[in-house]
A and B are shown apart, each in its own frame.
Chain A
């Protein structure tokens, strides 16, 4: 039995368990009991599972299509839509979801169109829309909401996820997996040979827009738990970490889901025991797993740079 340290002394009895005696906790008490005891922790964990399933595979495709930063840009692009929905309907889950999705989709289509019609490459269009969206979103929110609303929208609150929000996250994750299964083949073809589908029927742009719509949808789901600033974290960090574990797309997607789920679990436990804000704790865990993968994964720095070269068998 391991005996993890009790809660830090700094909590001064404000935490969820009795630490006054400084009694060492069992592994079970440290890792499992928070979820057994508190419904909000269970809901947060299930929300993380939904986000991992929805965001992980999509993040892998974004990374492999060299669009990692576009995910970040899109996550900011949903902000004005959410802000307008908030102004019109208050903290309404469906309104904010729809508003965010439409804003994300609009920016994706606009950026794609501008890159086709002008000299700008798509990433430049996304970069400019990202800044405009963030500034517009914060400005719109400030006209009505207070600082608490702003903090909620920017950094989310995974521990405040209620049943309706959970249902929404689960539905989006399910839909996302179905849509991804349909788009998988054309996206893989388009990623490897960008001219192939365009040369057949001129519809390569359609797949790209559908894919970006999928990204926007997953980001909106992530947004409710992690906020606009952190939403993309569950999508990109596990995906990039997964690159160091697998050589082919399928396994990379599986690893991304596992790493995202592990980040959610460890992040929630850490936030519970050490009084960290839950969203940043989850993303920091994902970041840590990313660094560990980069260093020690089968395709990481240690193995590929310093590992022994495989001996050729002779004869």
Chain B
């Protein structure tokens, strides 16, 4: 299948300390991929790199046939200024920024799309609520509504189901499946391996470099997971800036 995002020898990190080393591979157009790995494996860092929030320390990220603006990104809730007094309605209308920018007024179509998105996530009655008064699950649904409004071909989800109850997970997971069936490319950072096995056809197993990348069943083999945990735990701050000694990556 044709790639939509191609990574070439990508190294990403913070303040010159790499969190991901020499990652090469590609996400196919229309694919549904889970990114898994132990804490500190570089999963969120990878998503931020693809979204353009982090500049590569080395290597490159190629977007094929899409621009940065075509990537919807669901950040972790801790990255939002949750006390900012914005209403649910305004927070969802942010999704129209790509089309309206600073000057264009919100038209009826924009409003209808936002209303439909809020109804779809079950927050139709919460339009005037201030975001800080929502529960964690409601906030996550609101962010999903923003993604619906953005209507982008590529969707990046950073821990979309963390701290969310089962019912909300079911609603959100159904939306992810719907996006996949509409031909959108979805990449999600996840922790629940059972969920990944059941719902995500492709998986990238990260432990600061790609341990395995491909069909979920083979990637999540126990041997790979053991290796992932061992590698991440062996990491220390005094390791060389760029670990060239790490084994080569496995392209899908």
B17 CB → nearest A CB, Å: 13
Query: Given A192-B80, A200-B69, A249 and B85 touching (CB < 8 A)?
Result: yes
Interface majority SS on B: helix, strand, loop or mixed? mixed
Of the listed stretches B89-97, B116-124, B160-168, B244-252, chain A binds: B89-97
Of the listed stretches B71-79, B195-203, B209-217, chain A binds: B71-79
Contact, CB under 8 Å: B94 / A196: yes
Size bracket of the B interface: 20 to 34
| B239 contacts A by Cβ under 8 Å | no
Residue of B nearest to A181 (CB): B102
Contact, CB under 8 Å: B86 / A192: yes
| B141 contacts A by Cβ under 8 Å | no
Contact, CB under 8 Å: B73 / A195: yes
Of A192, A194, A199, the contact of B94 (CB 8 Å cutoff): A192
Interface string of B129-148 (1 = CB under 8 A from A): 01100000000000000000
- In the complex, how many residue pairs between chain A and chain B have their CB atoms under 8 Å apart? 68
CA–CA, A248 to B87, complex, Å? 8
Contact, CB under 8 Å: A199 / B102: no
| A252 contacts B by Cβ under 8 Å | yes
B152 CB → nearest A CB, Å: 10
Contact, CB under 8 Å: A182 / B85: no
| B240 contacts A by Cβ under 8 Å | no
B202 CB → nearest A CB, Å: 23
| A64 contacts B by Cβ under 8 Å | yes
Residues of A within 8 A of B48 (CB): 195
CA–CA, A199 to B81, complex, Å? 16
Of B51, B68, B130, the contact of A248 (CB 8 Å cutoff): B130
A200 CB → nearest B CB, Å: 5
Contact, CB under 8 Å: B52 / A191: no
A239 CB → nearest B CB, Å: 13
Of A186, A201, A247, A249, the contact of B68 (CB 8 Å cutoff): A201
CA–CA, A64 to B84, complex, Å? 7
Residues of A within 8 A of B51 (CB): 195, 199
Residues of B within 8 A of A185 (CB): 97, 100-102
CA–CA, A197 to B51, complex, Å? 11
Near B by CB (< 8 A), chain A positions 173-202 give 182-183, 185-186, 188-189, 191-202
**Which 4 A-B residue pairings sit nearest by Cβ, starting from the closest?**
A199-B51, A192-B84, A192-B86, A199-B53
Interface residues in chain A, defined as those with a beta carbon under 8 Å from any beta carbon in chain B: 64, 119, 182-183, 185-186, 188-189, 191-202, 247-249, 252
